[in-house]
Structure 1
Amino acid sequence: MEFTRRNILALGSGAFAAASLSGMPAFASKTDDAIAAFTGGASVAEGGIELTAPEIAENGNTVPVSVTAPGAVSIMLLATGNPTPAVATFNFGPMAGARSGATRIRLAKTQDVVAVAKMEDGSFRQAGATVKVTIGGCGG
């Protein structure tokens, strides 16, 4: 069989589309796996944690994010659409005055930022925010 330039372009475009679509569930799976590892498979409730992130980020290279969870022992921060979703984990000792953390993160595209907190009683709390990114920060 002889390939023309048009056939090769069509095959390449199809392969790229298939790779792009098959990668989407992988990011969600990585996020779910990270949350399951952090919680040990325990159920996660909504509320009791405050996540602050901009609704629109002009530049995905430096997106300011802060999280507060009174009574938390540890807080994990995730960017669900990034190739590596785990962004940061804040750990607090018994003498910690405030159970909060702030950082700047890179976001490849518009996506959800999720915070999961392990509370002193062993329960887990979750909050999320969608950040619309106009210029991605994790690309080549």
Structure 2
Amino acid sequence: MHEDPLRVYGGLAGRRQFLRAGMTGLLVISLPRWAVARPSLEHAIRTFTGGADVLDGRIRLDLPPLVENGNAVGITVAAEAPMTADDYVRRIAVFNEKNPEANVAIFHLGPRTGRATVSTRIRLATSQVVVAVAEMSDGSFWSSRASAIVTLAACIEDLS
């Protein structure tokens, strides 16, 4: 079992000695949050699909085209599927173009869900495109895109 290095050096003065000893052989680089690259919308979708092709259709994304306040934007995603044991929606994912995180939500469904429809509220940092992708039980992926103009932005950060 290893001893706690701060205990070995003991007290505040010991902590300083420990940090000085550690700094001689260790270089720690800490980047500000804005310096870490945000994955692109396409990269986030590719990660969700495992690189599979995404087709247009079989899914509808309802997003208001003009949003007064980006802090709580209501969306509804509905996929065309009979929701039987042989043909159903496995997952529905929502992605955005400009928020600090590209992934918004992933909903897991099954044949006993009844309807492949989900609704929620999301935050939108600024005017942007939102994409919904549905994974079907046969392994195919279908998508729909919608644009929203946001007059009062949420997630206020440097998005450049």
Question: For this structure pair, what is the TM-score category when the shorter chain's length is used for normalisation?
Answer: 0.7 to 0.9
The whole-number CA distance in structure 2 between the counterparts of 1:80 and 1:108 is: 10
The aligned residue for residue 134 of structure 1 is 151
The whole-number CA distance in structure 2 between the counterparts of 1:110 and 1:32 is: 18
The aligned residue for residue 121 of structure 1 is 138
CA displacement 1:4-27 (0-9 Å, x = unmatched): xxxxxxxxxxxxxxxx9x99xx55
Q: Over the residues paired in the alignment, what is the CA RMSD in angstroms?
A: 1.8
1:102 aligns to 2:119 (yes or no): yes
Give how far 1:30 is off.
2.9
Give how far 1:81 is off.
0.9
**Correspondence list, 1:26-41, <5 A:** 27=38, 29-41=39-51
Paired letter, 2:113 = A
Paired letter, 1:58 = E
**Correspondence list, 1:1-140, <5 A:** 27=38, 29-71=39-81, 72-139=89-156
SS in 1 for 2:118: strand
* Paired residues, number: 117
Q: TM-score, normalised by structure 1?
A: 0.78
Q: TM-score, normalised by structure 2?
A: 0.68
Structure exhibiting the larger radius of gyration computed from Cα positions: 2
Structure 1 spans left out of the alignment, 5+ residues: 1-19
